[in-house]
A and B are shown apart, each in its own frame.
Chain A
Amino acid sequence: MRAQLLLLALGAGGLAFTAVYSPVWALAFTGLALLYGSSGVYVASRRLYYLVAVAPHSSLMAIGLTPLAALAAPGVPGEVLTGLLGFLPIALALTLISRGAPEALVASWLTALTASLGVLSVALTASMGLEAPLAEALAGDPLLITAREALAIAGIGLLAMLLVARFYWVYAYSGADPEDYALAGYKLSKLAEAGGVLMVVASTAGMVWYTGFVVQHILLLIPPLIAVKAARSVREAMTTVYSASIASSGAGLAVSILLDLPPSGMIGVVAALIYIILALAYKGRLEGSEESYIH
């Protein structure tokens, strides 16, 4: 619990510092932290890491295809087209896996396909005289978020957190013991299932313009890894993922303002540092667990 409080304090301090410069940035990054924290709990507790493999590549592909899609659907906002295009590979992955296809196979195949299509679509777009903003998609530019967008992101983050707070124990049990979960006959409502998928899509294709492709990988993976290292129970893991997500986002943004460096890169550096510090702090715990197998 001490680690979670320290992480929360670090994140809150960073966000408070940011708010002095720009309340809009602080609001947007609070929303992003809640959204990525929620997706992190969802992905890690349900053991859906294949989604993390596929989702950022599918969002990159979506970026590449968006200018082409805009020709076919004039008037539809680019963000909406990107979100829809990024959703398709994730929906395909979930469908294939629910029909029994091995997760690793689906993840590998779809990662290869979406990454390749991303490159091809950018080339095709360029040959047609259109522009796919690939550089922006890689690094993102969260500081261009408007007040209205920041409010929307905060709202999405809050909704995602409410969904996870309601169902985190179901996610954890279904990931830990899928057979007993099947025997229990419990069915998540269609709304809750759709909410989980939409949360992952929002974290990837939905936010790629703001966070960038690279930082998505980091924020979807590192906070859950920190939780696995530091937490001792399902409830504690959930609070740790949120704390780590808020700490990475808040502190990363504050440091990027101080050093005048890109926030997306700094968030990744801060997340990686937190992980290393906690891994060293909890090194003894791992040794303890190995000991338990001996007696």
Chain B
Amino acid sequence: MEPEVRVEGLLARVGSFTLSVGRLSLRGPGLAVVEGDNGSGKTVLVKSILGLVKPSRGRVYLCGLDVTGKPGVAGRCASYMPQNAPLMAAHYPLTPLELLEYSMRLRGHSFNRDEALRLLAELGLPGEDLARPMAELAPGERQKVFAARALLAPSKVVFLDEPFSAMDREGREALARMLLREARRRLVVLVAHSPEGLAGEVNARVRVEGGRVTAAW
């Protein structure tokens, strides 16, 4: 059976940084963790898999689809929580619920408002914050909204890039519980320095060092 994530001979460049991956495959359901030091290339790896960084060589397959450099195709299989949640600063007001609704509508899914509210409440985002523009939320609150967006999508693979970095303790614990729950039914790929109490639950680990995937087990 085709693994959810398959990478073959990937070479991707971002500025002067080069990422090189020989072979990598991840199969779900389960929890996979991408580890590595700062600047080792973890985010570039995830973005290359999602087609957001176009590789100069190699192929990437998600759910059996060739998604190399094609984010619009990758999005059919995967959802994504970025490391630096876009600030959505003062340029235009956008509420958390609008963000979730529009993300679902763009993908052709109906928006389940109750489910969205339940996810946000579980992450510890109070109802009164949902009427405020994203730019007014604290960084940790914004991370909760982006985590909810990634989990709300009915994708087969969920990528979360450093999801715990700005969250408060309650938020981190709640997200960890939710990721474990999700990992029972789909592949959850977590980029994290310390996977927040999930170490014993990890099914696969990918080690990235100096722009190379050095180990995957």
Contact = CB atoms under 8 A, between A and B. Distances in A.
A216 to B, nearest CB: 21
B49 to A, nearest CB: 11
Nearest to B131: A232
B58 interface: no
Interface in B57-101: 71-76, 78-80, 82, 86, 88, 90-95, 98-99
Interface stretch (B112-120, B135-143, B183-191): B135-143
B88 A176 contact: yes
Nearest to A225: B90
Interface string A265-295: 0000000000000000000000011001101
Interface string A154-175: 0000000000000001101101
Nearest to B78: A183
B93 to A, nearest CB: 5
Given A228-B91, A292-B136, A179 B82 contact: yes
A295 B79 CA distance: 29
Contacts of A172: 92, 94, 98, 102
B124 interface: no
A295 B132 CA distance: 15
**Which secondary structure dominates where chain A touches chain B?**
helix
A186 B103 CA distance: 10
B136 A176 contact: no
Interface residues of B, number: 38
A232 B94 CA distance: 7
Contacts of B90: 228
B131 A180 contact: no
Given A177-B86, A180-B103, A184-B72, A288 B92 contact: no
B106 A170 contact: yes
A58 interface: no
Interface of B: 50-52, 71-76, 78-80, 82, 86, 88, 90-95, 98-99, 102-103, 105-107, 131-139, 149
Given A179-B82, A185-B107, A236-B93, A173 B102 contact: yes
A154 B165 CA distance: 52
Nearest to A229: B90
B192 to A, nearest CB: 20
Given A232-B133, A292-B136, A292-B138, A186 B106 contact: yes
A183 B71 contact: yes
Nearest to B75: A183
